[in-house]
């Protein structure tokens, strides 16, 4: 049975139903749909559209439907096109004529927008919680890393040594921005569309402010056309999740590299590695690879949603039904990726010996030699050329100590500059704020810790009912 039999002489074609049903996807909105209906029914009671007895009857029927859906005993009927239809049908079966009043002054257009915003408020917060947990793992590993250092890279060429803690926190700060974006998106979407009706509001004395407050929204819509057609919040959430996915992808890519024999910077715990069905010797970083791979799909969801929205005239169009699958899937992909990367990173062993050996290559201190010359008054461009020549000469020499000999022999530098090439010296000289050396990183660790705890508080406040 459809919600519109009066206007139609016959039922819908089976192929129409096949093509238009969304129940398999939007049944995930059941709890939010029922929450929206409870608030709407109370609003209808305040407006005098339903009397107290009817409000009670419909609320009791909604409780029963909630219960049936939660326990799995809810019987979906073949005509249940979407979750809204299914809930209304069942409420009417249970509550009789009072149930038939549930949809007064409401459309599925404001209803679905309400449901989806409620869903986003909860689920985006849960993604942010996992984001913070991954940041905590990065912080713990950074603290534990102490003075360990590795090459910092540009163009994937060894550039300057950096503390391992510094490298780990670089990913941590990116995740902190992701959490910030999720919370900002969540705050922006905290607007109730309920009461916008199909597109224009209602002739009944409904009070959108009161239902917004009842549902825990920060406020109500300003414009009914906008309220039912705005899916900015879905696009924003998809962007936040796609960018978070891109950050996880970059972490994944580095873990794959570090785990390779060629780098050898990382040993995966057995619980966080996979084997090969054919090659007995293999221990593979599938978690890191999937974390990298999921980004493609997340970006696809964002571009798909934007493309769906771009040509839509006001107000509601059925195209908007396409918003849920990408949104749900994006959340479903990101959450386990965050949890799995946290587990992998918490349990992996960093080969700090190999990292140091790679970072202590003589050329890693080249800029320190140049800055030593600058301290003596030489213009940087000249100093760059002097050191560049020495590095070039040393590169032609098999001997690892070639640069040290050349530095000692260079009239501009001399034996006291050779100390700059000592293992571990270069990283200790990165002293500026936000830099890669021990003093700066100690400050950074504290600032990161403070950021994490203030984000936890923000999230706690946001998630409070
Ligand atoms: N399943 C629909 C959606 O997700 C619900 C709203 C349907 N509205 C309508 N006018 N057909 O958008």
Give the model's pLDDT for residue 465.
57
Q: In this structure, which CATH number among 1.10.40, 2.40.128, 1.10.10, 1.10.600 belongs to the domain 361-422?
A: 1.10.40
Give the model's pLDDT for residue 281.
86
For a mutational test of ligand 1's pocket, the pick from 19, 82, 119, 231, i.e. the residue with the most ligand atoms closer than 8 A to its C-beta, is: 82
Expressed in angstroms and rounded, the spacing between residue 85 Cα and the centre of ligand 1 is 10
Active-site residue set: 155, 276
Question: Cα–Cα distances in Å, from 384 out to 238, 380, 390, 400?
Answer: 46, 6, 10, 21
**Ligand 1: which atom is nearest the Cα of residue 108?**
6
Give the model's pLDDT for residue 374.
95
For a mutational test of ligand 1's pocket, the pick from 32, 108, 225, i.e. the residue with the most ligand atoms closer than 8 A to its C-beta, is: 108
* Greatest Cα-to-Cα distance within the chain, rounded to the nearest angstrom: 100
Q: Which of 356, 348, 362 is nearest to 150 (CA)?
A: 356
Expressed in angstroms and rounded, the spacing between residue 2 Cα and the centre of ligand 1 is 13
Residues near ligand 1 with C-beta < 6 Å?
22, 26, 82, 108-109, 112, 316, 318, 320-321
* Cα angle, residue 91 at apex, residues 85 and 94 outer, rounded to 5°: 140
Classify domain 5-104 at the CATH topology level: Fumarase C; Chain B, domain 1 (1.10.275)
CB 336, CB 322: distance < 8 Å: no
Number of H helices, E strands in the chain: 18, 6
pTM over 0.85: yes
Protein residue with least CA distance to atom 4, ligand 1: 321
- Residue 228, strand partner residues: none
Expressed in angstroms and rounded, the spacing between residue 199 Cα and the centre of ligand 1 is 12
Protein residue with least CA distance to atom 7, ligand 1: 108
Give the model's pLDDT for residue 320.
98
Give the model's pLDDT for residue 408.
94
Q: Is 96 left (phi over 0), alpha (psi -120 to 50) or beta?
A: left
Q: Which of 169, 168, 209 is nearest to 192 (CA)?
A: 209
CB-based contacts of 133: which residues, under 8 Å, 6+ apart?
338, 339, 342
Question: Cα–Cα distances in Å, from 4 out to 9, 12, 168?
Answer: 10, 11, 58
Burial 320-355, CB ≥16 within 10 A → b, else e: bbbbbbbbbbbbebbbebbebbbbbbbebebbbebb
Q: Give the span between the Cα atoms of 72 and 385, in whole angstroms.
A: 74
Regions of the chain short of the pLDDT cut 50:
none
Count of C-beta atoms within a 10 Å radius of residue 393: 14
Expressed in angstroms and rounded, the spacing between residue 109 Cα and the centre of ligand 1 is 6
Give the model's pLDDT for residue 242.
99
Q: Give the pLDDT confidence of 400-435 residue by residue, as tens digits.
A: 789 999 999 999 999 999 999 999 999 999 999 999
Sorted by where each begins, the domain ranges of the chain are 5-104, 109-357, 361-422
Tokens 């239902």 sit at which residue?
211
For a mutational test of ligand 1's pocket, the pick from 196, 318, 324, i.e. the residue with the most ligand atoms closer than 8 A to its C-beta, is: 318
Expressed in angstroms and rounded, the spacing between residue 321 Cα and the centre of ligand 1 is 6
Q: What is the DSSP letter of 421?
A: G
- Residue 162, strand partner residues: 150
Domain 109-357: CATH architecture, name and number where available: Up-down Bundle (1.20)
Token pair for 296: 């493609």
Protein residue with least CA distance to atom 10, ligand 1: 109
Give the model's pLDDT for residue 258.
98
CA 29 to chain centre: 21
Give the model's pLDDT for residue 1.
64
Provide the residue count of the chain. Answer: 465
Count of C-beta atoms within a 10 Å radius of residue 449: 15
- Residue 151, strand partner residues: 161
Strand-strand pairing, 219-220 and 349-350: unpaired
Strand-strand pairing, 191-192 and 219-220: parallel
Tokens 């690879």 sit at which residue?
289
Q: What is the DSSP string of 215-258?
A: TT-SEE-S-HHHHHH--HHHHHHHHHHHHHHHHHHHHHHHHHHH
CB 312, CB 228: distance < 8 Å: no
């Amino acid at each position: 049975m459809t919600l519109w039999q009066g206007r139609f002489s016959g039922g819908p074609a089976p192929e129409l139903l096949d093509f238009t049903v969304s129940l398999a996807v939007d049944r995930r909105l059941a709890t939010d749909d029922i929450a929206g209906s409870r608030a709407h029914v109370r609003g209808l009671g305040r407006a005098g559209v339903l009397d107290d007895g009817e409000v009670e009857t419909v609320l009791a029927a909604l409780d029963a439907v909630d219960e049936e859906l939660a326990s799995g005993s809810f019987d979906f009927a073949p005509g249940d096109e979407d979750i809204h239809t299914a809930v209304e049908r069942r409420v009417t079966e249970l509550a009789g004529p009072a149930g038939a009043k549930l949809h007064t002054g409401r459309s599925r257009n404001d209803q679905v927008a309400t449901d989806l915003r409620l869903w986003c408020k909860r689920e985006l917060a849960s993604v942010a919680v996992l984001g913070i947990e991954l940041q905590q793992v990065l912080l713990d590993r950074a603290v534990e890393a102490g003075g360990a250092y590795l090459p910092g890279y540009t163009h994937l060429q060894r550039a300057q040594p950096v503390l391992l803690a510094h490298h780990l926190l670089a990913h941590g700060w990116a995740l902190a921005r992701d959490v910030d974006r999720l919370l900002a998106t969540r705050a922006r979407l905290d607007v109730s569309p309920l009461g916008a009706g199909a597109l224009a509001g209602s002739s009944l004395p409904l009070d959108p402010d009161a239902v917004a407050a009842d549902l825990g929204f920060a406020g109500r819509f300003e414009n009914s056309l906008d309220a039912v057609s705005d899916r900015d919040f879905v696009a924003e959430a998809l962007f936040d999740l796609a960018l978070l996915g891109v950050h996880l992808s970059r972490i994944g890519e580095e873990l794959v590299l570090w785990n390779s024999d060629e780098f050898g910077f990382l040993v995966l715990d057995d619980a966080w590695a996979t084997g090969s069905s054919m090659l007995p010797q293999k221990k593979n970083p599938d978690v890191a690879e999937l974390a990298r791979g999921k980004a493609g799909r997340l970006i696809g969801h964002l571009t798909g949603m934007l493309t769906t929205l771009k040509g839509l005239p006001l107000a509601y169009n059925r195209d908007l039904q396409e918003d849920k699958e990408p949104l749900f899937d994006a959340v479903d992909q990101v959450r386990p990726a965050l949890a799995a990367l946290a587990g992998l990173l918490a349990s992996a062993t960093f080969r700090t010996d190999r990292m140091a050996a790679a970072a202590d290559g003589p050329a890693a201190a080249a800029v320190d030699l140049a800055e030593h010359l600058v301290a003596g008054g030489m213009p940087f461009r000249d100093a760059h050329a002097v050191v560049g020549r020495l590095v070039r000469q040393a590169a032609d020499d098999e001997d690892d100590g070639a640069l040290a000999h050349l530095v000692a022999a260079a009239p501009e530098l001399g034996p006291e500059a050779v100390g700059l090439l000592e293992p571990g010296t270069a990283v200790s000289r990165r002293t500026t704020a936000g830099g890669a050396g021990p003093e700066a990183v100690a400050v950074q660790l504290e600032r990161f810790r403070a950021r994490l705890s203030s984000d936890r508080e923000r999230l706690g406040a946001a998630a409070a009912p």
